[in-house]
Structure 1
Amino acid sequence: MGFLIFLFWAAITLGVAIAAAWGFRAVAAAVTRGEMRRALRNAPLTASFGMLVIFIYLVVAILAPLIAPFPERTVVGSQFIPWSAEHWLGTDALGRDMFSRMIYGTRNTVGIAFATTALAFLIGSVFGLLAATVGGWLDQGLSRLVDVMMAIPSLIFALLLLTIFGTSILTLILVIAVIDSTRVFRLARAVTEGVVVMDYIEAARLRGEGLGYLITREILPNVTAPLVAEFGLRFCFVFLSISALSFLGLGIQPPTADWGSMVRENATLITFGDITPLLPAGAIALLTVAVNFVVDWQLYRASGLKE
């Protein structure tokens, strides 16, 4: 009987998700023009669902102070109050409203992950493009440094650096960005090496074009598609890394709301059959799946394949 109930609610959830994705695709196509409109009309429902989830997360992150019924750090009741009309998801171990902290956690966790991913891509892409374009000792030196850094497991490396330099938000962003920039460097260098050997690059060099012109005008437009796709995938890994570090106590520090630390702080409720600690984990998983849906669609578009 329980399994049938589960299947029923799963079917209901799937139907709502499909309807929401279809409606979002129709609205998005109606308010856009040109190539973007055609792309959205042909987007699969999975990509539409992913874009819808990302849009909802962005709205919640931006409007968090207006949506949340209570402040982020304020104690509003007793410890572990059950779900009620006043506290939709109950309260945590200190008596703070869980629903409000989930909303503020969207801004903190997603915002920090996006800033970290952007910094990692800036570092990795610049040095990867330079290494492949210049070559020689610069390429060898940067590549060997990246090999050494990648030989150390990323989570252990991050734990070590955060233990040494502290656990402030700025330090967290810098540490994760530097570690993840090694992966971006390898990709940027690999795709650039396939471009620098082309005839039009050699022709530009013979014309006397400088390094800046070669990278920005000749190389970068031809490597943008795989880098954009990698940005989405790398965002997921950074997002999960920050949540894992927060769960271990070395990520975003209390009292700042963060989904990883919220799971750790309220994990004891699971032993009493309360699923509240699983909700931040579910929010992490949902955003990861949504981003991957959109990335898969972008990779398909960039590949030039046709149905």
Structure 2
Amino acid sequence: MSARDWALRGSPAVLVVLAAVLGPWLAPHSVDTAVGPPFAGPSADAWLGSDRLGHDVFSQLLHGGWGLILLAAFIAAVVTGLSSVLGAVVALWPRWGAVIERCADLLILLPVVLALLLVVMTWPRWGTVGVVIVGVVFGVPYCARVFAAAATGVAASGYIEAARLSGESASYVIFRELLPNLRELLLTQLGLRFVAGMYLVATAAFLRLPSVLGAANWAVMVRDNASGILLNPWSVLAPSVAIGLVAVSVNLLAAALGGRPAVRTEGGGS
């Protein structure tokens, strides 16, 4: 893939994430400033109109992305990191792999939304921590299976066997020999896990589960303004499009980076 293709795929993600992170400083109004009557249409003071409380939808949009993106990125990084290590363990040590796979089978059968409701509603003080725990616990089993399937072929390679027979430590074999050869899969799964994390965090906010993301996040905007979608559609459409655009653009960036040639294919470090 050429540098131009990487730029075309990656630039939307960079622009959207920058807009979400810098949004609070770029917003023309604060999140609690009334700019007109509820669900008023677009105007010079409110480019996307107002929400149910008369607040500027555009300002709310700029304030509401950083929390969702940060939390989804954290979940994606933890899930991908743990899954890659577990997948390597399954491939290198089949006995331990059987135990890991049985635990994964049990977790895959449970509905993630039900677990989210149980955990966060049972321990409301956990808030965002509970959302992260659910995202990690229910994201790792599926992702680890993907890594295990890919790592099995790499583990059978001659240089992996040579490293193990020469007495290299388990951490060396996993992190210096095996995982560098799964670089494309790592980046691809990171993008997919980000999408899953984004929708999990948005679902938690939409279901009014306790969190520390603030009242101006995109999912809350969709939930609270749904009753006025016919009066000012932008109050619902804008945050909905923002959630989808972030998820898709980051996934495209991860896929573009994952399509680059691997740093190494055999032996030694990266």
Same fold (TM over 0.5): yes
Q: Does residue 148 in structure 1 map to residue 106 in structure 2?
A: yes
Correspondence for 1:178 among 123, 126, 137: 137
Correspondence for 1:72 among 31, 38, 41: 31
Which ranges of structure 1 fall in alignment gaps of 5 or more residues?
1-37
- Quick one: distance in 2 between partners of 1:267 and 1:102? 15
* Counterpart in the other structure of 2:3: 40
**Which sits farther off after the overlay, 65-74 or 294-303?**
294-303
Q: Given that residues 35 and 54 in structure 2 are in contact (C-alpha distance below 8 angstroms), is that contact kept between their aligned partners in structure 1?
A: yes
- 1:80-95 to structure 2, matched below 5 A, reads 80-95=39-54
- Quick one: distance in 2 between partners of 1:195 and 1:290? 30
Q: Given that residues 33 and 55 in structure 2 are in contact (C-alpha distance below 8 angstroms), is that contact kept between their aligned partners in structure 1?
A: yes
Deviations 1:191-231 (A, max 9, x none): 12221122211111221111111111111111121121111
Amino acid at match of 1:150: I
Amino acid at match of 1:203: A
- Quick one: distance in 1 between partners of 2:222 and 2:104? 33
* Counterpart in the other structure of 1:21: none
Amino acid at match of 1:120: V
* Counterpart in the other structure of 1:53: 12
Amino acid at match of 1:110: I
Deviations 1:48-105 (A, max 9, x none): 4432221112221332232011223455554333322112222222333221111111
- Quick one: distance in 2 between partners of 1:99 and 1:40? 33
Amino acid at match of 2:3: L
- 1:249-288 to structure 2, matched below 5 A, reads 249-250=208-209, 252=211, 255-272=214-231, 274-288=233-247
- Quick one: distance in 1 between partners of 2:209 and 2:115? 12
Of structures 1 and 2, the one with the larger relative CO (CA 8 A, separation 6+) is 2
Which ranges of structure 2 fall in alignment gaps of 5 or more residues?
263-270
> What SS does the aligned partner of 1:272 have?
coil
* Counterpart in the other structure of 2:268: none
- 1:182-221 to structure 2, matched below 5 A, reads 182-221=141-180
- Equivalent pairs: percent with the same residue? 31
Q: Given that residues 160 and 177 in structure 2 are in contact (C-alpha distance below 8 angstroms), is that contact kept between their aligned partners in structure 1?
A: yes
- Quick one: distance in 1 between partners of 2:9 and 2:25? 24
Deviations 1:236-258 (A, max 9, x none): 12212222232222264674321
Q: Given that residues 50 and 289 in structure 1 are in contact (C-alpha distance below 8 angstroms), is that contact kept between their aligned partners in structure 2?
A: no
- Quick one: distance in 1 between partners of 2:215 and 2:233? 23
With the length of structure 1 as denominator, give the TM-score of the two structures.
0.76
With the length of structure 2 as denominator, give the TM-score of the two structures.
0.86
State the 1:151 CA deviation: 0.7
Amino acid at match of 1:81: A
- Quick one: distance in 1 between partners of 2:54 and 2:212? 18
* Counterpart in the other structure of 2:265: none
Aligned-residue Cα RMSD (Å) equals 2.4
